[in-house]
Amino acid sequence: MAATGKTHENWSSRSAFILAAVGSAVGLGNMWRFPAEAGENGGGAFVLFYIFCVLLIGLPVLLSEVLIGRHGQANAPESVRRVARDSNAPEGWSILASMGVFAAFLILSFYCVVGGWVVYYIGVFISDLVQTGLAGGAFEGRAAGDIEGLLPGLFGNGGLMVGLNLGFLAVTMFFVARGVSSGIEWVAVYLMPIFFVLFLGITIYGAFTGNFGEAVAYLFTFDFSKLTGEVMLAAVGQAFFSLSLGVAGMMTYGAYANRDTNLGETSGIIAGADTMVAMLAGLAIFPIVFAAGLSASAGPGLMFQSLPIAFQAMPFGSLIGLAFFVMVFFAALTSSVSLLEAPTAYVFEKFKLARPVATLIVGLGAAALGVLSSLSFNDMAEFYPLSFIPLFAETNFFDTLDGVTAKLFMPIGAILTCIFVGWIADAKLIDDENGLDGVLHQTWRVLVRFVCPIALTIILLAGLFA
Ligand code: TRP
């Protein structure tokens, strides 16, 4: 049963789809959040459980999302509606994707805030390169506290924060407005290869000049006594964020996939590439941080504060620092593009608008929320929007959006997706889409029907009440 009423473009090839989806998955989640989470949660045990979550929960949900999109060939809620219709199931299931589209919009708004910090550091390293030249380390003659102070310095400047945030968002809007093949695909096809080259270069550099042995031991020595409930919760949340799951992003990209793309295989490649980048990011950052004698558990400050200090002691530090943040910028941009595309595709198909108009409407909304997020680091630090809910009692605007999306929208969206694909949708239809045979198909079916929804429900409850 082919869905009719297709209203939008397709990827020009299977590799374009893979690059765009890997571009969505690989982003600040891998470069910034993964090392921070691994470091805060004790290293090895977190990493092992993370891989376990990717395989048993992330990958099955990823395949479920792209197959809904591919069958529907439309924006995420409409795709779910079409799968439901072709399965003689209630079309109201589309609510799972409507929630997702809204959540993607929320994530976009604060993701671009952090994207703005990356742009700031690109500026910092360019000016450092100009001042101190190529050969020596970065920030010659400046105290470590001074370098660490760059981030709080930025936070203190509300106007600059807002400007960088909106600048990053504007670049994202530019590419989404240009459409699937000349915008979204263009960014992925040109920027992802540059990203990989820079990334491998920096990893190899880190391995040779940094303390590689200590980093490997830290990340891959599994101490089971460290595997607490909290660590497990952090690992599964990280796996979801990193794979762009639970919020309709991968449904939207799946909708541009052609009928002859094998989705099972493609999902495996996407999850594999994303996980590899996360591991290598750890192996790029920790050797450099350890060589400088800094702590692994700096959390969010690891990439923005510890790493720049470490670049001080390294040969060609300014240049490596610049290359590093340019690379993170490319990764972040291909992700923010996917976060904007999910709500934009919905708005322009649903209200029959021109794509650039829809992009502008969604973008302006994200800009408004973004300003509030940017200001939660300074002028509005004491504004707690959901203070009436105990879980978010003393949580500023930025952290509230982060918490609501990670603790509520992502797990709920993923649970509903699993129930829909595993129990509600027509088994034959699903079978035709997923590209799996034999044992793999059976395993995936069991994971989607039983393992994922149960595990995700436990995670949802633990996140809310633990
Ligand atoms: N996965 C991206 C990262 O790791 C972020 C991202 C892009 C995302 N699209 C998403 C997260 C959709 C959740 C949902 O940086």
Strands (E), 218-364: none
Residue type, 281: A
Tell whether ligand 1 has an atom less than 6 A from the beta carbon of residue 151: no
**Continuous H helices in 351-451:** 355-375, 397-404, 410-419, 427-434, 438-446
Instruction: Tell me how far apart the alpha carbons of residues 39 and 296 are, in angstroms, rounded to a whole number.
Output: 5
- The list of the chain residues with pLDDT below 50 reads 1-6
The DSSP secondary-structure symbol of 395 reads -
Task: Dump pLDDT digits (tens) for 140-189.
Answer: 888 889 999 999 999 999 999 999 999 999 999 999 999 999 999 999 99
The two three-digit tokens of residue 306, written as one number: 């510890």
The two three-digit tokens of residue 430, written as one number: 């699903």
Instruction: Return the pLDDT at 380.
Output: 87
Tell whether ligand 1 has an atom less than 6 A from the beta carbon of residue 101: no
Instruction: Return the pLDDT at 381.
Output: 86
The two three-digit tokens of residue 176, written as one number: 């989404």
Instruction: Return the pLDDT at 7.
Output: 55
Is the pTM above the cut of 0.75?
Answer: yes
Task: Dump pLDDT digits (tens) for 207-263.
Answer: 888 899 999 999 999 888 888 888 888 898 899 999 999 999 999 999 999 999 999
Whose Cα sits closest to atom 14 in ligand 1? Answer: 244
User: How long a stretch of residues is the chain?
Assistant: 466
Rounded distance from Cα 245 to ligand 1 centre (Å): 7
3-state secondary structure of 334: helix
Tell whether ligand 1 has an atom less than 6 A from the beta carbon of residue 28: yes
Angle between helices 59-72 and 427-434 (to 10 degrees): 100
In ligand 1, the atom with minimum distance to the C-alpha of 405 is 13
Q: Within a 13 Å sphere around the CA of 146, how many CA atoms are in the beta-carbon half?
A: 8
If one residue of 244, 275, 277 were mutated to test the ligand 1 pocket, choosing by the most ligand atoms within 8 A of its CB, it would be: 244
Whose Cα sits closest to atom 9 in ligand 1? Answer: 244
**Which domains are seen in the chain, by residue range?**
14-345+405-465 (1.10.4160)
